[in-house]
Structure 1
């Protein structure tokens, strides 16, 4: 049996940036780097990933894990579809392995994130959990019996396209009301810009106008400052998050639900309405053990750390 690597590099390919970390077996981040995400061709993406691996790679690194946005073939590690990238299906596991000269594991980015939370984060100690990430899009990863749920082809848990708001905002899939269009970081930013335009004298409008942070971060900052419009946005997105979480709990019966991504920095301003709506919609709540809704421990590092842990665990 091949010894497990003491360290691995984890890569989280996002819609706007690629994050890389070097991670030890206990989850410690020993080095990190990032760059913008090239979207036009697979070759450009592979070159960017290889450059990041070179920047964080240490002498004890023996594997690389890559979390990819969209649908990843569980058999081959190829990218089947990613809405944020301009190129079609590509054998990214093979291409990246050739570029870095190391064994490579690829998986969906939310699967990588839930693995980090399962192994060492908010879901540690539970063999059944669901994670939802609120970022550029909405991702979902599910662990059942201590194993990632991949489905027949690797495309399971595409919860982004659950309908939670009929007639709601247009999704990239061409339909309206999808969870991923109504409740994620970009939705918060969109609602923030609309609220700022409607209330030009508000704290939110001032923060966005000063360019001190992007619109999503400005919503959180303004909400902590008591801005009514920002508080309404977080309450709305939190409520829609709770709608989707209840559907997932009814489907998968997890021991714990974990919410990650940048918007979770709003804390209870987002999570409290999510928990309240979740409790209202959960089937037979009085006849089952409580299902806590927790903030992710690894926050924005979850995808990269989880990818590294997948590389370590699959090499055992």
Structure 2
């Protein structure tokens, strides 16, 4: 592609509850943003929502669209193979969105897109080997090896959410107990917060949740910052289990850095300090390898959309 103006792309991040879109220049500058709720019932509704956001942020130099999808994305066709948060089955979303917006479309898993953002211009910039984990409604993971995203045979690699980190832990939708995604995620913090509030209904955490805090997970972080012992214990527990999983990934992939993102990271060291402690305790032969830093992601809510746009630009070259 050549143009007298900088080449731009639209990046779209389809989440379980909302869709975010950005218009991005090739150097990573965000020029426009838009978002809407995620329609989860039918393919047509989802395609229309994505196309509507693209139209809202699209500018004349936009040459390609990248879309991060919440599930397993076929690396060969760009089709969505499976997404637990959506109510429809496999769908050729890449083709359908391209037909709707009239531009080439690149699709990938949303966590892969976020990993690409951190690798290209974020916390992992300059490192060719990186693991990213995002803590949200679930847990997402993307792995960059030698400057390339790890996709596996079909595009389904790095589904780290289903690593078992707590064998007697909560039941996962997959049928197993103690999967990383249910034991250590934003949803896990919220669940534990509600349980703790029920145990101590007159405590500070229960009062925060009861007075209409927008999210039980945010209430846990707020209470922990005020020194509440229940909230501190929750963040310590989830942070520790986060570190357990991160160490397993580091032992598998030998990254130069591990990057952690998602809403719960706003708790800072209340979550990350126990994560780093558990990580160091379980990293294989730590004294005989270079340090593997556990870093906070640079990008928050825009990570998936920015990464999707960068992936589209990079693959179009």
TM-score, scaled relative to structure 2: 0.98
User: What residue is the counterpart of 1:211 in the other structure?
Assistant: 212
TM-fit CA distance, 1:222 = 1.1
Work out the CA distance in 2 between the residues paired with 1:218 and 1:169.
21
- Corresponding position: 1:113 with 2:98: no
TM-aligned CA deviation for residue 162 of structure 1: 0.5
Matched ranges for 1:298-309 at <5 A: 298-309=299-310
Measure the CA separation in 2 of the matches of 1:31 and 1:202: 43
Which SS does the other structure have where 1:116 is aligned? helix
1:289 aligned partner:
290
Instruction: Please state how far the C-alpha of 1:136 moved relative to its aligned partner.
Output: 1.0
Kept in 2, the 8 Å contact 1:46–1:95? The answer is yes
For 2:204 and 2:103, the matched residues in 1 are separated by: 50
Aligned counterpart, 2:16: 15
CA distance in 1, matches of 2:42, 2:116: 28
Unaligned runs of 5+ in 1: none
The total of aligned residue pairs comes to 315
1:3 counterpart residue number: 2
Counterpart mapping for 1:124-163 below 5 A: 124-163=125-164
Alignment of 1:190-201 (within 5 A): 190-201=191-202
- The equivalences for 1:13-52 within 5 A come to 13-52=14-53
Partner of 2:276: 275
What are the superposed Cα offsets for residues 92-133 of structure 1, whole Å, 9 maximum, x if unpaired? Answer: 000000011111000000000000000000000000000000
2:26 and 2:269 map into 1 onto residues whose CA distance is: 31
Question: Take 1:105 and 1:3, find their aligned partners in 2: how far apart are those partners?
Answer: 19
Cα deviation per residue 1:12-50 (whole Å; 9 max; x = unaligned)?
Answer: 111111111111112121111111111111111101100
- In the aligned structure 2, how far is the partner of 1:80 from the partner of 1:156? 13
Question: 1:247 matched to which residue of 2?
Answer: 248
Deviation larger for 215-224 or 74-83: 215-224
Q: Which residue of 2 aligns with 1:185?
A: 186
The aligned counterpart of 1:260 is 261
Contact 1:136 1:185 in 2 (8 A): yes
Q: Secondary structure at the match of 1:191?
A: helix
Q: Secondary structure at the match of 1:189?
A: helix
Query: The residue matched to 1:169 in structure 2 has which SS?
Result: coil
**Gaps (5+ residues) in structure 2?**
none
Equivalent position SS for 2:63: strand
